[in-house]
Amino acid sequence: AAHNYIAKHYQLDKEQKQHLRYHALKGVEIADNVARLCVMNLYLHGIGGDESLVDVDDSLESDRGHRYDQVLTNPPFGKKSSITIINEVGKAIREKIEYERTDFWATTSNKQLNFVQHIKTLLKINGSAAMVVPDNVLFEGGAGETIRRKLLHECDVHTLLRLPTGVFYAQGVKANVLFFDRKPASETPWTKELWI
C-alpha cells in the first residue's frame, strides 16, 4: 500500500521508480515459510526482482553493516530468546540465547530489548525508526534500564504511542509504538521531550 501510494502520488523519474521497486525495501525473517509469504506478497504487488528482498536469517545474530534511513518493525514477541535441544535420551532442554554484540549496550536474553538495540544500530545518523514493543521494554529493570537510558541519550525518542490491549499481541499484553531518530554522538542526551 505505501509503495503504491508513493508511486501514484509522487512524480518519480525512471531511476527513482527502479530504486523504489528493487532497492528501497529490505527485510530479514528467521522463519523460512514467513519469508516466502513476504516475498510472494511483494512480488504480487510488483516489488522486487531476481534477488529476494527478504533474507532468511536471525537478524539479531550479527551486525551486517547495512544502514537505513527508516526502519519500521514489529519484532517477534515472547519474553526470552531460547532454543530447544533434544539430548541423547530424548529429553528436551531449553537454553537461553544471549547475543553478545559489540554494538549492543547490554547483553540480555530478552528479544524485544535486543531488537531495540539492533534497530538503533541499523539506523543511519538522523535515520528514523518506528517499532512495536510490549510494555516490558518500557519498564523492565537491569539490562532494560541500561538500554532505555542509552537510547534516550543517543537517540531522540520523541513519541510513544500506547495502543489498546490486544492490538498486536495476545489479550492482556499492552503494545506500544516507539518512535525515535538516531543522532550523532553527544555529551548531552538527545531526548529532551517525549510525547505520549
Whether the pLDDT of residue 83 is over 50: the answer is no
Backbone angles phi, psi at 100, to 5 degrees: -110, 100
| pLDDT tens, residue by residue, 48-73 | 988 899 999 988 988 999 999 999 99
Three cell numbers, residue 168: 498486536
Per residue, the 3-state secondary structure of 96-151, as one string, reads ECCCCCCCCCCCCCEHHHHHHHHHHHHEEEEEEEEEEEEHHHHHCCCHHHHHHHHH
Give pTM, 2 decimals. 0.81
Q: Which pLDDT score, from 0 to 100, does residue 80 have? A: 45
Secondary structure letter of residue 176 according to DSSP? E
Q: Domains in the chain, please, with CATH?
A: 1-57 (no CATH), 63-196 (3.40.50.150)
Amino acid of residue 76: P
